[in-house]
Structure 1
Amino acid sequence: MRARPRSGRAAALVGMLAALVLTGCSDPEAGFVPNPPDIDVDTPALREAKADAGIEDCVPGDGEPVDGGLPAVTLPCLGGGPAVDLSTLRGPMVVNLWASWCGPCREEMPVLQEFHATHGDTVPVLGVDFQDPNTGLALQQLAQRGVTYPSVADTEAVLKAEPLRATALPLTALVDEDGVVVRVLPMELESVGELETLVREHLGVDL
């Protein structure tokens, strides 16, 4: 038996449902695209947006890979600047995974920025723009929230692997002075005091 052709109305309904499947778990502000194509992270426009926002350049580390440390992957700096091999970084430091399509990530940005402004010389903050198809919007959101700490870009979601196992955002990792990831926090940070307590407890830093 031959299949009957869909009516125009039925075809439109199928298309609409497919669109809902693709966007239902994302933020409509960002237009999230699962498994996006190549993503620009360093263009003249992105560099200008980063400079206008006063976002700091990424700072490469100088350590060697360690067991339990961040993976040996080199990620580009969002909006231009030095690329960073994560395995070379040493703490104490806070590494925060976020994306433009993640609402809770935007909510906690002021917390991370205040921590950075207060304690950044002792415990730096590094953002990771994770699997984000809209880097222009990402920089715009950083600017809107006054964020100045740097971010690298994980466009291929390599941090889904150990030790971070990033499958949901936001996610914050605490890295000690030896470069070991001592705590992974798959949660929204709600206050500077909360983050300060976590840093004292897990990194042994007297803030």
Structure 2
Amino acid sequence: MRHLTRTALLALALVVTACSPATDEASVPSITVSGQPDSQRSLAPGEVLGARQEAGIDACPASDAKATQREGGLPAVTLDCLGGDSTVNLAGLPTGKPRVINIWAQWCQPCAEEAPSFAQVARETRGQVDFLGINYGDPFVGKAIDFAVEHQTLYPQLVDPEQTVRAPLKVPGPPQTYFVDAQGTLVHHSTTVYKTPDALRADVEKYLGVTAS
């Protein structure tokens, strides 16, 4: 009888384990494309640009495709804009205004924790600081769009599904944040999770000399 009880408990445990979710991805709301919801948001390449535009995510900045890495600057790595309508060479991003670059993924819980801070500070410093996101190692671009909609991180977004920037930007994993001054010099690489807008405001002022308002 004792043996049967242990066997039954083991069987029940296996059933419960099989029914548990395999991952702990952030739950994001689904927007539709052409009226069709997609639970995995595994959009066809031709649908991504329409989804980005529908979501209100900004187009990516122009860059000098032939630029090489300047001393202390960003690497010469070219990434697609979310939607595939342009490419951006990080080394060729325009200067004249400081920039915050945030590496994130929709499956990354710390990224979800800090995303509202980035959305708020980006709004507060609009016109003074350019924000740029890099969606990193993400198999579901549509869910990444949903993430941006949920958290209102609607500034330009690049995509790096192959983790191309991992070595040149020393990315152990998302989130990572880079502060680039108006001359194009990378002045600080932060591994901090910015759980409050005040924490991000403080670093924007410290490293870029801009006070959010």
Gaps of 5+ in 2: 1-13, 28-41
The ranges of structure 1 where at least 4 consecutive aligned residues each deviate by more than 6 angstroms after the TM superposition are: none
Aligned residue number for residue 189 of structure 2: 184
- Percentage identity across paired residues of the two chains: 34
For the pair 1:118 / 2:120, whether they are aligned, the reply is: no
**Farther-moved stretch of structure 1 (196-205 vs 166-175):** 196-205
The structure number with the bigger radius of gyration is 2
For the pair 1:58 / 2:64, whether they are aligned, the reply is: no
Query: Take 1:147 and 1:97, find their aligned partners in 2: how far apart are those partners?
Result: 12
Letter in 2 for 1:181: L
- Conserved in 1, the CA contact under 8 Å of 2:80 and 2:86? yes
Aligned residue number for residue 154 of structure 2: 148
Q: TM (normalized to structure 1)?
A: 0.76
1:141 positional shift: 1.2
Letter in 2 for 1:187: T
1:187 positional shift: 2.1
Letter in 2 for 1:57: A
- Conserved in 2, the CA contact under 8 Å of 1:97 and 1:128? yes
CA RMSD of aligned residues (A): 2.6
Where in structure 2 are the equivalents of 1:63-78 lying within 5 Å? 65-78=69-82
Aligned residue number for residue 83 of structure 2: 79
The count of aligned residue pairs is 178
Query: Take 1:140 and 1:102, find their aligned partners in 2: how far apart are those partners?
Result: 14
Gaps of 5+ in 1: 1-12, 17-22, 31-39
1:67 positional shift: 1.5
1:130 positional shift: 0.6
Find the residue that maps to 2:165 and give its secondary structure. Answer: helix
- Conserved in 2, the CA contact under 8 Å of 1:100 and 1:137? yes
Letter in 2 for 1:87: A
